[in-house]
Chains A and B, each alone.
Chain A
């Protein structure tokens, strides 16, 4: 997906995204180096099922540890 930086207001960049040029404001700190007013960007959004699955596992593990910790006999 393509986006273009229409303008920059302080620390927010006003992106116009996609063919409809839908306005999305994002912090300048998230932009690649060299991005400026008028720059075109490629926004690559894909589902990352592996990352999601890993995080699910990690959080489940943490929840389990906490639950078991509270159930341990004092």
Chain B
């Protein structure tokens, strides 16, 4: 579990970035790596200062999660990316540093659907956001845990909220898990400890390759118990340089370090782009050449999480450690499983073997 999670090719990276830095702006780097994977998916953690905005580009669909504070920063970014239409926009929760910038986006770019937790907030900014959704006749979906959207080979699934309260808007945040092959992203909005506990209780498959850290790295999110279950290889904190709120907080940074997670921060690295073909991924921070320690990261997910014990074939089940034909047959008999923990009901699987299965990470439940 503690082995270095990532395949670094530092020498190549330093050389490449050195060459690119001489001949091309940041967009040149993007273009270069875009061609590295056929049919790739890109996830852009856009540097909007203190706030969130995440742009997802698949071969067939364009998605935006949050739009930063009010203004045209994100709109301009999307226009520069050549975005003509958004298939889906998710406003994670009504705080101005998440939905403010969506107002300008809606004014200019046609949008096929908005998913929002639909909890009341009293700011004019939120009112203006709702008004433009109404004026432009954008289909509005109340986002609840379990809702899914498939986009080619990419699946988005909401893991939160189930029953949001307007009394605590951060914990009303929509949390999205995006799966593409064996590479999984978890976008946590501003979800705090209560939301994390709820998601753990609901036994969602939280394990992810890349985690957008909740609430700008505040100590009110990213409990060690939650982090352990998500078990990410890469984490991205979205916050403004020298923000007044002390984000990210020392507690969160310490937890991430202890969990051996490679961290990127928009306040340090600028916009961070993750490119993946569903098997491998590459992280490219815009300001890579200023941070020699982690200029770029490439990897394949440690834990492939590729075998759903509720649906896998007899043969596939036997690829899991400690599962032979007899136990595989018993697993099929005992379906459905609500969590990996329930494998303990299978003859011959005790705590030690269950832990080994978990550590291997191939098995998952959905």
Cross-chain contact B123 with A6 (CB below 8 angstroms) = yes
* Residue A28 at the chain B interface, CB threshold 8 Å: no
B219-251 Cβ-contact flags toward A at 8 Å (1 or 0): 000000000000000000000000011110000
Q: Please report the C-alpha to C-alpha distance between residue A19 and residue B128 in the assembled complex, in whole angstroms.
A: 12
Q: How many of A's residues come within 8 Å of B, CB to CB? A: 16
Cross-chain contact A16 with B245 (CB below 8 angstroms) = no
Q: Please report the C-alpha to C-alpha distance between residue A50 and residue B96 in the assembled complex, in whole angstroms.
A: 39
Q: Please report the C-alpha to C-alpha distance between residue A31 and residue B125 in the assembled complex, in whole angstroms.
A: 21
Name A1-33 residues within 8 Å CB distance of B. 4, 6-7, 9-10, 12, 14, 16, 19, 21, 23, 25
A-B residue pairs, 4 tightest by C-beta: A9-B245, A38-B122, A6-B96, A7-B95
Bin the interface of chain B by size: 20 to 34
Cross-chain contact B96 with A25 (CB below 8 angstroms) = no
A38 CB contacts on chain B under 8 angstroms: 120-123, 166, 169
Cross-chain contact B124 with A4 (CB below 8 angstroms) = yes
28 A–B contacts, CB within 8 A, in A order: A4-B123, A4-B124, A6-B95, A6-B96, A6-B123, A6-B125, A7-B95, A7-B97, A7-B169, A7-B170, A9-B247, A12-B244, A12-B245, A16-B96, A19-B124, A21-B70, A21-B123, A21-B125, A37-B121, A37-B167, A37-B169, A38-B120, A38-B122, A38-B123, A38-B166, A38-B169, A39-B122, A40-B122
Cross-chain contact B124 with A9 (CB below 8 angstroms) = no
B121 CB contacts on chain A under 8 angstroms: 6, 37-38
Cross-chain contact A23 with B96 (CB below 8 angstroms) = yes
A12 CB contacts on chain B under 8 angstroms: 244-245
Distance (whole angstroms) from the CB of A71 to the closest CB of chain B: 46
Q: Give which listed residue, B95, B97, B124, contacts A21 with CB less than 8 A.
A: B124
Name B130-160 residues within 8 Å CB distance of A. none
